[in-house]
Amino acid sequence: MQRTLIKDLHAAVGREVAVQGWVKAIRDQKRVQFLILRDPTGLAQATVERSPEKAVLNDRIAVLTRESAVTVSGTVVANPIVKTGGIEISIRDLTVDGPADRLLPIDVSGVQEPNPEIRLNWRFLDLRRPENLLVFQVQTVIEHAMREYWLQEGFVEIHSPKLMGSASESGAEVFTVEYFDRPAYLAQSPQFYKQMAMAAGFERVFEIGPAFRADPSFTPRHATEFTSVDMEMSWIDSHEDVMAFEERWLQYALERLRDRLGTQIHDTFDVDVVVPAVPFPRLPMADALKILARRGHTPERAGDLDPAGERLLSEYVAQELHHQFVFVTDYPAAGRAFYHMRHEHEPALTKGYDLLWNGIEVTTGAQREHRYNVLVAQAEEKGLSLEPIQFYLDFFKYGCPPHGGFGFGLSRMLMVLLARPNIREVTFVYRGPTRLFP
RNA sequence: GGGGGCGUGGUGUAGCCUGGUUCAACACACCUGCCUGUCACGCAGGAGACCGCGGGUUCAAAUCCCGUCGCUCCCGCCA
């Protein structure tokens, strides 16, 4: 018999169905046995009376365990008393397809919240909780909407190599791996390769893929492996074009998300998906620091925001400008990558920006320096050795258009969007400095 | 890498400050029995932890001290 999803049971009253899912609860009473079944679409009650004719079935249910994977067949019956939708399945037969051990290592029912370490150890069980499934349904809708928007705008999807012969970023720590008889490095970002696509004349590209950072960062928003959402576009006038693209792109993705899953997100996480108005507020770094100073906060490092500063600035933007997002622009060159373009009349400042969303940095973007000589000079100024990145510098020697782009943290977005406390529970399988399993 | 917090049955917690007859408790899960429809089912009973690990102080340590490991948060780094 074809499987019926739990969400469709209400349309099958009076019919024989087969439901497949997990046993959430068993209430085995003297006269009647009740099962609460869970599949990805919802919960349903299944019932059978104890009787001599049903002895085999009754006995099977008597030894059934929670979280076993089962197939239940029976007739859908309307019964207004039943809390799971006013319908239940009168069980004709039950097959245990995958039995579960009696003692579960963590509570899947949601009554208790095991500590984070144990939840990650038993991630596949933790993920059975409906709210965790929703996180990844949200991720799916967002990624899909982002791709839709890019396709409408003529972008080409690329997949850049994750094994590299030299480090892709100046500062960030890099993982070294054995590559036959020599070392290789895991890509810290697709930066060099999306710029290569600009030199190749692709004009507009995007990539959603893994990035690796060997930073021993112990915060709720860092991972050693994460999914980076990247794009790069040619023939721009300035980083303003990149920001103008990003805000419309995010607006589109969030609008699609609100329409598709807004109600479910509200019911599950008690947060409303807000479709942001464009343009997003823009604040040059110098102004941002003045605002923070007025609010009594001065970051330790000159010319940059610390995490507390990012939170306070977002608070200011929410209160005064009524927006969840803010572009912080015109970062000092000292703190930015060598390939960020500088302002013509203010070479100490870059055409680089960060995007803050409710106090968390979700994007770094910039117009890139595409003039070979200027780029080399900036690399030398940062003390970089040119030889390992010569292949990259060569991109700019044979006719590369002006261009810019950004990198966007997918899990950070989910974390902020769904108001989750850390990146680990919105990452399918988290990787951190001390976490390589499961 | 620097600083703070935490580590008690399968899970979540109490006890720790003010060491010793509430020092191993409570809830969930599990086991046995009972229960005419439950829906966080209920009721009765039961099993399960040498209190992260090592050392020290003391007549006596889950409790105080030191070390160590793990987790977590803040800072640094960033997506």
Tokens linked to A337:
């990558």
At residue A385, the pLDDT reads 86
Residue A78 lies in a domain: yes
pLDDT bin (cut points 50, 70, 90) of residue A168 is low
Domain C-terminal end among A98, A119, A147: A98
The verdict on A171 and A31 lying in the same domain is no
ipTM score of the complex? 0.87
pLDDT at residue A171 tops 60: no
A407 lies in some domain: yes
pLDDT at A114: 86
**CA distance linking residue A325 with residue A128, whole number of Å:** 32
At which of A40, A75, A98 does a domain end? A98
Q: Which nucleotides of B are covered by protein (CB under 7 A)?
A: 1-3, 10-13, 28-31, 34-41, 70-79
pLDDT tens per residue across span A363-375:
999 999 999 999 9
* CA pair distance A415, A58, nearest whole angstrom: 45
Shared domain for A145 and A273, answered yes or no, is yes
A60 and A163 together in one domain: no
Q: What is the pLDDT of residue A160?
A: 95
User: Do A256 and A147 sit in the same domain of this protein?
Assistant: yes
Instruction: Using the structure, give the distance in angstroms from the CA atom of A14 to the C1' atom of B65, rounded to a whole number.
Output: 72
Instruction: Return the CATH number at A381.
Output: 3.30.930.10
In a domain, A107, yes or no: no
pLDDT of residue A110: 83
pLDDT in tens, A88-133: 999 999 999 999 999 999 999 888 888 888 999 999 999 999 999 9
Range of the domain at A379: 130-426
One domain for residues A72 and A176: no
Nucleotide nearest to A411 (CA to C1'): B79
Give distance CA A135 / C1' B51 (Å). 37
pLDDT digits (tens, 9 = 90+) for A1-42: 899 999 999 999 999 999 999 999 999 998 999 999 999 999
d(CA A352, CA A337): 9
* Lowest mean pLDDT, pick from A67-81, A165-179, A312-326: A165-179
Phi-psi region of A334 (alpha: psi -120 to 50; beta: other; left: phi over 0): alpha
Q: Is residue A295 predicted with pLDDT exceeding 90? A: no
Same domain, A371 and A254: yes
Last-in-domain residue among A45, A76, A98: A98
Cα separation, A288 vs A298, whole angstroms:
11
Q: Same domain for A177 and A228?
A: yes
Domain count across chain A = 2
Indicate which CATH number applies to the domain containing A15: 2.40.50.140
